[in-house]
Structure 1
Amino acid sequence: MRTKASSAESNDLQIEPIDRSLEPQFRARIDGKAKPLGSLGRLEDLAVQLGLIWHPLVPRTGRAAVFVFAADHGIVAEGVSLYPASVTRAMVATYLAGRAGVNAFAKASGVDVQVIDAGVDGDIPAHPGLIDAKIRRGSRNAARESALTSREASDCLARGSSIVAASIDAGTDVVAIGEMGIGNTTSAALLMHRLAPVPLADCVGAGAGLDAAGIARKLAVAERAASRSDATSPLDVLAEFGGYEIAMMAGAVLGSAGRRRPVIIDGFIATVATLVAVRLQPAARGYCVFSHRSAERGHSLLLEVLDAKPYLDLGLRLGEGTGAVMAVPLLRAAAGILTGMADLSDVLAGTLETPAADRQHG
């Protein structure tokens, strides 16, 4: 059965900032574990972040899901991609068949895959793993007109938020976000340029494999699109240059933060969506875990803008949420520092007991 996404209003969602005053308390707990001080490196930082996000509850990471938002982009008509828009629909079918990169990585990492049709230019048959949130069959050509209407941008935020919030309410502990959309690196570059803000040339990269001439053509198209509008407010910029999948990912970040759950951010395009979310509601930043540094031009600079230090640097640039999925085991390990490691004082006092479950199966 195909699930139809709700478009309930969520743009006014109030996000409670994480309480940074509790950080020394969590640092002290981690320092007291059975290990030398700082010996677990940046996993200790991640454990602190998870503690702050979940407080006063104990962090849970058992059930993780990656949400792959898919949509097409009208700007593809300007020749900004090596591939035709039809590839978006073909890749969605591949996700639903369980045969894409994200499916392989998710299986290895114990992560559920949920695909969202945010605006694919085509009809996708019903499937248990598909959520129908389609706004329109592809965005408009941002080089010539606004890609989205203001109402569409708001609806995307609301739908992305409600999709993730519903999953969390149903038991998801960790949210990861990824995307698919031929032409979406151009849209993402325009959003980064205007919201960071940084020069457009620093934002436009090879995408799915453009050569130098292709990148130059893509930059020229992006410059033409940027010159069309002087929008600077986050929602206006999203409407002018965004894609439906990028806007829904921004909503997903807000929805996860609103439910006080960690949201793992994938590469360049997902990080741009996060920039949109943070510009709309700065408190959302504290709930974001940046999984990896993409090889796409612009991502390293974008991470600096968001004061983010990713945990992995593997040269990935596939998208789909693959990097985010690879970071899920790191979250589980970091949570285990708080929930599973013994305190050094108990070790030295010889008061440790084998957990009942381990004794039963030993």
Structure 2
Amino acid sequence: MKAPFTSLAGFRAVFETLPERDSAAVEAATARNEQLTKPKGALGRLEELAIWYAGWQGDGRPELKRPQVAIFAGNHGIAARGVSAFPPEVTVQMVANYRAGGAAVNQLCKVAGASLTVVELDLDRPTGDFTEVPAMTEEDLVAALAAGWEAVDVEADLLVVGEMGIGNTTAAAAIAAALFGGSAGEWTGRGSGVDGAALEGKTLVVAQGLERHAEALSDPLEVLRRLGGRELAAMAGAIARARVGRVPVILDGFICTSAAAVLHRITPAALDHAVAGHVSAEGAHSAVLKQLGKEPMLSLGMRLGEGTGAIVAINILRSAVACLSGMATFAEAGVSAG
């Protein structure tokens, strides 16, 4: 579906009339859950997740058939400052690996029964070094938001977004610090594995970016434009498209959640359709989740990004939906209710 905006003003307008979840479906799912052959609340958070999913699918007895994983790849000017343990050319190489089926995300998509979409975003044209200039022009940002919007499959009944881009944990740290306050050191982590002097240098890059653009950081879309990257913007665009289409979203790790936080800053209702798949080993991820009010489903020490933690969580949600929709009620099973 072609994006309905051609400017940042047009993208902002998307959030002025967001659809609500289907209250009748929530009521029907809640009523059914109360009658299933189990003690009340015995399935714990699975019950809550199933009812949440039912509300956004508009069906009190929902099914999860067509999950989509969309990975966006972009290159960053700040990568030249040594903020990652890997060189910038790895972005292109990993995109080839996704297309060849050799990455972790490919294997996890198979297990989760999810389709995989890979979108390359001007890999031969890195963003600007945000310590010196804005990472993107307004035209660049709008194009990346639109690429994310248009990557969402209109038939999908669940969306996970992931990313690939050497240097993008640095961009995510800068975005989180700009949106939520605090020092660069509070938000900057090891990312691909930097430590010692390299981590200090990465933290300095974040601090310099925040200082360079301080006058514009009250506007969340300016935060994204000045400190982000094309793949972060595309993730935000895809999540926004899912919100408008009432497609449930499972959020991945620190980079994905920092991109989503931009939408939350526009309006908190922008992420009502999203749950957190996991909390990653990247230290600041839990702090972003706390700011968003999202409780992660899983804590597995993962820090790969690429959507992987959220993809693992797809099967948790599948289990929740299967129990709500497939279990017999007491009346159906001829079992005496307590």
Does TM-score exceed 0.5, indicating one fold? yes
Residue 91 of structure 2 corresponds to residue 64 of structure 1: no
**One of 235, 240, 249 as aligned partner of 2:226:** 240
Query: Which residue number in structure 2 is paired with residue 159 of structure 1?
Result: 147
Note if contact 1:72-1:182 (Cα within 8 Å) is conserved in structure 2. Answer: yes
Query: Which residue number in structure 1 is paired with residue 187 of structure 2?
Result: 203
Query: Which residue number in structure 1 is paired with residue 112 of structure 2?
Result: 109
**CA–CA distance in structure 2, aligned partners of residues 22 and 347 of structure 1:** 23
Query: Which residue number in structure 1 is paired with residue 259 of structure 2?
Result: 273
In the TM superposition, structure 1's runs of 4+ consecutive aligned residues that sit over 3 Å from their partners are: 5-8, 19-28
Query: Which residue number in structure 1 is paired with residue 280 of structure 2?
Result: 294
State the secondary structure of the residue aligned to 2:275.
Answer: strand
Query: Which residue number in structure 1 is paired with residue 51 of structure 2?
Result: 48
Q: How big is each residue's C-alpha offset from its partner over 1:146-177, in whole Å with a ceiling of 9 and x where there is no partner?
A: 0011232223222211221xx12xx2211111
Q: 1:119 to 1:277 in 2, by over 3 A?
A: farther
Cα shift at 1:338: 2.6
Query: Which residue number in structure 2 is paired with residue 132 of structure 1?
Result: none
Query: Which residue number in structure 2 is paired with residue 218 of structure 1?
Result: 202
Note if contact 1:140-1:147 (Cα within 8 Å) is conserved in structure 2. Answer: yes
Q: 1:289 to 1:155 in 2, by over 3 A?
A: same
Query: Which residue number in structure 1 is paired with residue 77 of structure 2?
Result: 74
**CA–CA distance in structure 1, aligned partners of residues 61 and 335 of structure 2:** 25
Query: Which residue number in structure 2 is paired with residue 348 of structure 1?
Result: 334
Cα shift at 1:17: 2.9
**CA–CA distance in structure 2, aligned partners of residues 211 and 18 of structure 1:** 44
**One of 183, 187, 201 as aligned partner of 2:167:** 183
Query: Which residue number in structure 2 is paired with residue 308 of structure 1?
Result: 294
Note if contact 1:15-1:281 (Cα within 8 Å) is conserved in structure 2. Answer: no
**Higher mean displacement: 111-120 or 247-256:** 111-120
Matching residue's letter, 2:35? G
State the secondary structure of the residue aligned to 1:175.
Answer: strand
Note if contact 1:16-1:283 (Cα within 8 Å) is conserved in structure 2. Answer: no
Report which of the two has the higher share of helix: 2
Alignment of 1:32-43 (within 5 A): 32-43=35-46
Cα shift at 1:247: 0.4
Note if contact 2:47-2:324 (Cα within 8 Å) is conserved in structure 1. Answer: no
Q: CA RMSD in A?
A: 2.0
State the secondary structure of the residue aligned to 2:118.
Answer: strand
Cα shift at 1:200: 2.2
**Higher mean displacement: 51-60 or 72-81:** 51-60
State the secondary structure of the residue aligned to 1:139.
Answer: coil
State the secondary structure of the residue aligned to 2:41.
Answer: coil
Note if contact 1:7-1:162 (Cα within 8 Å) is conserved in structure 2. Answer: yes
**Higher mean displacement: 288-297 or 7-16:** 7-16
Q: 1:21 to 1:223 in 2, by over 3 A?
A: farther
State the secondary structure of the residue aligned to 1:119.
Answer: coil
**CA–CA distance in structure 1, aligned partners of residues 23 and 201 of structure 2:** 45
Q: Which runs of 5+ in 1 are unaligned?
A: 122-136, 351-362
Matching residue's letter, 1:191? I
Query: Which residue number in structure 2 is paired with residue 229 of structure 1?
Result: 213
**One of 153, 173, 177 as aligned partner of 1:193:** 177
**CA–CA distance in structure 2, aligned partners of residues 22 and 59 of structure 1:** 9
**Higher mean displacement: 341-350 or 150-159:** 341-350
**One of 132, 135, 146 as aligned partner of 1:144:** 132
Cα shift at 1:57: 6.6
Matching residue's letter, 1:268? F
State the secondary structure of the residue aligned to 1:30.
Answer: helix
Counting matched residue pairs gives: 327
State the secondary structure of the residue aligned to 2:334.
Answer: helix
Cα shift at 1:7: 5.5
Query: Which residue number in structure 1 is paired with residue 157 of structure 2?
Result: 173
**CA–CA distance in structure 2, aligned partners of residues 347 and 57 of structure 1:** 19
**CA–CA distance in structure 1, aligned partners of residues 283 and 186 of structure 2:** 7
Q: Which runs of 5+ in 2 are unaligned?
A: none
**CA–CA distance in structure 2, aligned partners of residues 65 and 244 of structure 1:** 20
Cα shift at 1:198: 3.5
TM-score for the superposition, normalised by structure 2: 0.91
TM-score for the superposition, normalised by structure 1: 0.85
